[in-house]
A = this chain, B = another copy of it.
Amino acid sequence: MNAPVGNQNLRREIPAGFLDALKSRFGERFSTAQSVCEHHGRDESPYPAMLPHGVVFVQTTEEVAWVARHCNDHKVPLIPYGAGSSLEGHILAVQGGISLDLSGMNQVLAVHPEDFTVTVQAGVTRKQLNEEIRDTGLFFPIDPGADASLGGMAATRASGTNAVRYGTMRENVMSLKVVTADGRVIETANRARKSSAGYDLTRVFVGSEGTLGIITEVTVRLYPQPEAVSAAICNFPTLDAAVQSVIEIIQMGVPIARVEFMDTAAVKAINAYSKLDLKESPLLLFEFHGSPSGVKEQAEVVQEITRGNGGMDFEWADRPEDRSRLWTARHNAYFAGLQLRPGCRASTTDVCVPISRLAECVSETAAELDLASFPYTIVGHVGDGNFHVLMLLDPDDPAQWEESEQLNRRLVERAIRMEGTCTGEHGVGLHKMEFMLAEHGRDALDLMAALKRAFDPHDILNPGKIIPPA
């Protein structure tokens, strides 16, 4: 694979004795085995593996602090690893060093149902969390698709299908325990629901992708499990009509929990993969949370608005099994897409624009993609203005990779021109670094670099990510 990556030439030398010290401190929980390093040197991105020199499997914050001090003292890179589900090369060891595997830190530490908060170790995954708190009547809503770790989700500022109602990790992380580059341990905040007491260290670390500190504990907000849940599906003649419906639905104050767009190709893929018979046209998939009568009212308002915009075949899915079938299908859209071209290699885009520009942005993009030499599908978190193009590439054809990269570049330029961003929820990693200057401008990037230097003077924390070389 010829994925473009800078900084590989910067692979650092490991000082003599450095690895031995890790071995003697961690024994079997430190490994330099090729297979272990390979597993920790790749994620779900299209990049080839870039291997760390070794992997430490930590169990406590104190161990993380010990490793950080050791790496900082010897200027060796340190890369936190959660579930390995990142999409943009976040965890690749471009400069070598130590991969810090936090998956063993998987304890739910404190549930406070009356305060709607839970504190977990960074390696707890979102499915595990919801499993463990089910009896409280509360749930954690952020759902990026993959069963990511909470630490990784915080570090990536993840979101997903129900951000339109519940927000992203930015809004839902209340506090973090963080190990600094030099091995100090801080709490970024307390459990108060709001605070004006100084700089917002929580939000400094949320989205910092392991480059400013290592998250070892996460406190997040929880929400009441909705009394009633209902779903609906609606076909539209055009994307424009679908987007206009969503704008009006939000203007009416309908608190939709999810609203997802699929283009015709995505619907076809889902029909084939999940054995459904959805009408093959652009469609919106809705989910409503609330009281039984509230959910009914929401659906009625939505039906009326969609009808006014040319929506057809508005269909309710009230029974849990029907709802679950639809939403499972949506969740499988990625795998369904892959099946459109068995054996393909996939690349996914992630722009997010103001919703008023969404239809225009998707339409221009689709017009270009229709000329591409490979198939694609589009799904979108319409309420947030965020959509993904899944590009299905021939793994043996480097020209198709380059073609897809060019299409993504033009897509990102378009999104930035429309006051949007190159990444709504996947993060920067390696893949989006080239867009950071265009999106933020030199002066804002300089501030980010100043922040990085202030927090990590020896550049040991996940180096070579987020901020492109000046």
Contacts and interface: CB of A to CB of B under 8 A. Distances in A.
A451 interface: yes
A-B pairs with lowest CB-CB distance, top 9: A203-B203, A454-B454, A114-B356, A195-B421, A115-B354, A224-B253, A191-B419, A186-B444, A192-B352
Contact of A114 (B171, B195, B247, B350): B247
A385 interface: yes
A185 B189 CA distance: 29
Oligomeric state, in copies: 2
A170 B386 contact: no
B450 A385 contact: no
Interface string A259-296: 00000000000000000000000000000011101100
B204 A199 contact: yes
Interface of A: 112-117, 137-138, 156-159, 163, 167-168, 170-171, 180, 184-201, 203-204, 206-208, 212, 223-224, 226-227, 247, 250-253, 255, 289-291, 293-294, 297, 301, 350, 352-356, 384-386, 415-416, 419-428, 432, 435-436, 439-441, 443-448, 450-455, 466-467
A441 B251 CA distance: 44
Given A200-B207, A203-B203, 15 more contacts: A157-B200, A188-B444, A192-B419, A192-B420, A193-B386, A198-B448, A199-B448, A200-B204, A201-B448, A204-B204, A224-B253, A255-B255, A294-B294, A453-B454, A454-B454
Nearest to A164: B193
A344 B3 CA distance: 71
